[in-house]
């Protein structure tokens, strides 16, 4: 029996979950060796390491409030250094005063109207975020210093190249980890609720979750039941995951990523009862009926240091994280330039640094 036939057989035995997850992704999955890092990606490597060293060298959550505050202050200072004015969304959780931190980049084509009445006068919002708190006694270098560092570098890269039509919200969420996960005290619950209260149109939400663990060793990747049949056994890929209702946005994100980036990928849509598929800040946005995608290295299904004190900065693959950073800058611009349902297939000119395309490719710089 071929792998494809086995996968199709599995559809009838697990309620379609494997088919949702493993099939129906646009674009061609990269196989083979990775290309050498570009000059821009080489610049990103030490920058990403600096962020993760600063944020994730100690546990930082509401059990360690001073460390959580140090992480928040570092994020705010870094955003300010990149020319942004950070916005705090402050709330109380179990007696702890905590905050989400966002930078909002308006589109270059922003008009004068901003009444927020849901009549189309405000631009649609694209949310790209990561949680900055760690779990338990873990320093949280991979979970989720990697996502935090990537968002900070996106803030630097994209400030000089604003989007045309979307209002970009780069958000660092608090309280994603236990004991707050799955409660109304998650930072992403508060952020999604605020957008809903303002009746904002949301193009989609991307959660950058645990992105720095990779291995080229056969058998290094595991999966939650009932997944696994026909999926790669080597932990060298990045996964794109969505809950039901977000298939179109998932396809836009994956299709764009695969067009621009020679990096192994898997993913799909699956129900929340599959272990791990709803374990990030995309879930509250999906609950609010916004399309949302999680991008992840799959965390505990390949990373032995997940939620442990050994989740330290030396465990992160910074070269692959740099590749993902430049890839996400391109995906964001594709989502801005393409109507929903077309970002993964539209024939845009390539993003370049020399002005050949109408929107130049964001270029990292050692100082900006």
DSSP string computed for 105-120: E--TT--S----SSSS
| Mean pLDDT for the stretch of residues 262-274 | 93
Residue 298 exposed, middle or buried by CB count within 10 Å (0-12, 13-18, 19+): buried
Q: What is the pLDDT of residue 346?
A: 55
pLDDT at position 121, please? 77
Residue 88 in domain: yes
Angle in degrees, 0-180, between the axes of helices 146-159 and 65-81, rounded to the nearest 10: 20
Band of residue 225 on the pLDDT scale cut at 50, 70, 90:
confident
CATH number of the domain where residue 117 is located: 3.40.630.10
How large is the average pLDDT for residues 100-117? 71
Is pLDDT above 50 for 2?
A: no
State which residues form the domain around 252: 18-27+38-337
More confident residue, 182 or 354: 182
- Residue 240 CA to its chain's centroid (Å): 9
For residue 348, being part of any structural domain is answered with no
With respect to residue 106, please indicate whether it lies within any of the assigned structural domains: yes
**What are the pLDDT digits (tens) for 6-52?**
333 343 344 444 444 445 788 989 988 999 999 999 999 999 999 99
Task: Give residue 345's pLDDT.
Answer: 62
- Both tokens of residue 301? 């299904």
- Tell me how far apart the terminal alpha carbons of the chain are, to the nearest angstrom: 56
Buried-state track 14-41, b at ≥16 Cβ within 10 A, e below 16: beebbbbbbeebbbeebeeeeeebeebb
The answer to whether 86 and 76 have CB atoms below 8 angstroms apart is: yes
Mean pLDDT computed over 60-82: 99
What's the mean per-residue pLDDT of the chain?
Answer: 87
- Percent of the chain with pLDDT strictly greater than 70: 83
Angle, CA 234 vertex, CA 233 and CA 235 arms, to 5°: 120
Spatial CB neighbours of 136, under 8 Å, sequence gap ≥ 6: 59, 61, 63, 177, 178, 307
Q: Is the pLDDT of residue 287 over 70?
A: yes
What pTM was estimated for this model as a whole?
Answer: 0.88
Confidence class of residue 110 from pLDDT cuts 50, 70 and 90?
Answer: low
DSSP one-letter code for 315: G
Establish if 342 belongs to a structural domain: no
In a domain, 99, yes or no: yes
Is 10 within the bounds of a domain?
no
Tell whether 291 is covered by a domain.
yes
Of residues 163 and 109, which shows the higher confidence score? 163
Per-residue pLDDT band for 344 (boundaries 50, 70, 90) equals low
> If you compute the radius of gyration of the chain from its CA atoms, what whole number of angstroms results?
19
pLDDT at residue 91, as a whole number: 98
136 dihedral zone (left: phi>0; alpha: psi -120 to 50; beta): left
**Domains identified in the chain, total number:** 1
Residues 6+ apart with CB under 8 A from 254: 25, 26, 27, 240, 265, 267, 344
Residue scoring higher pLDDT (19 or 161): 161
- CA–CA separation, 58 and 44 (whole Å): 23
Cα-based distances in Å from 300 to 277, 304, 311: 12, 7, 11
Residue 33 lies in a domain: no
């Amino acid at each position: 029996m071929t792998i494809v036939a086995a996968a199709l057989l599995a559809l009838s035995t697990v309620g379609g979950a494997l088919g949702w997850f493993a099939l129906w992704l646009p674009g061609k999955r990269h196989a083979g060796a990775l290309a050498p890092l570009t000059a821009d990606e080489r610049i990103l490597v030490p920058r990403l390491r600096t962020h993760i060293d600063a944020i994730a060298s100690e546990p930082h959550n509401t059990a360690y409030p001073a460390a959580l505050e140090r992480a928040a202050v570092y994020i705010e200072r870094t955003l300010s250094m990149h020319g942004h004015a950070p916005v705090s969304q402050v709330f109380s959780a179990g007696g702890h005063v905590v905050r989400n931190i966002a930078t909002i980049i308006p589109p270059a084509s922003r008009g004068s109207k901003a009444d927020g009445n849901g009549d189309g006068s405000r631009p649609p919002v694209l949310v790209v975020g990561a949680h900055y708190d760690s779990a338990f006694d873990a320093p949280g270098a991979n979970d989720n210093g990697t996502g935090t560092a990537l968002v900070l570098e996106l803030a630097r890269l994209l400030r000089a190249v604003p989007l045309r039509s979307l209002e970009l919200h780069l958000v660092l969420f608090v309280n994603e980890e236990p004991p707050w996960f799955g409660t109304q005290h998650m930072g992403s619950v508060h952020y999604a609720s605020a957008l809903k209260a303002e009746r904002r149109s949301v193009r989609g939400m991307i959660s950058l979750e645990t992105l720095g663990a990779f291995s080229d060793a056969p058998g290094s990747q595991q999966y939650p039941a009932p997944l696994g049949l026909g999926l790669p056994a080597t932990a060298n890929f990045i996964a794109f995951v969505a809950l039901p209702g977000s298939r179109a946005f998932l396809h836009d994100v994956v299709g764009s990523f695969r067009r621009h980036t020679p990096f192994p990928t898997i993913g799909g849509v699956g129900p929340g009862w599959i272990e791990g598929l709803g374990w990030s800040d995309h879930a509250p946005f999906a609950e609010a009926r916004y399309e949302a995608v999680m991008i992840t290295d799959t965390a505990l299904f390949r990373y032995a240091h997940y939620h442990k004190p050994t989740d330290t900065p030396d465990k992160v693959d910074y070269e692959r994280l740099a590749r993902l950073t430049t890839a996400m800058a391109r995906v964001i611009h594709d989502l801005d330039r393409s109507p929903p349902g077309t970002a993964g297939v539209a024939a845009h000119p390539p993003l370049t640094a020399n002005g050949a395309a109408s929107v130049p490719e964001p270029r990292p710089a050692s100082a900006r």
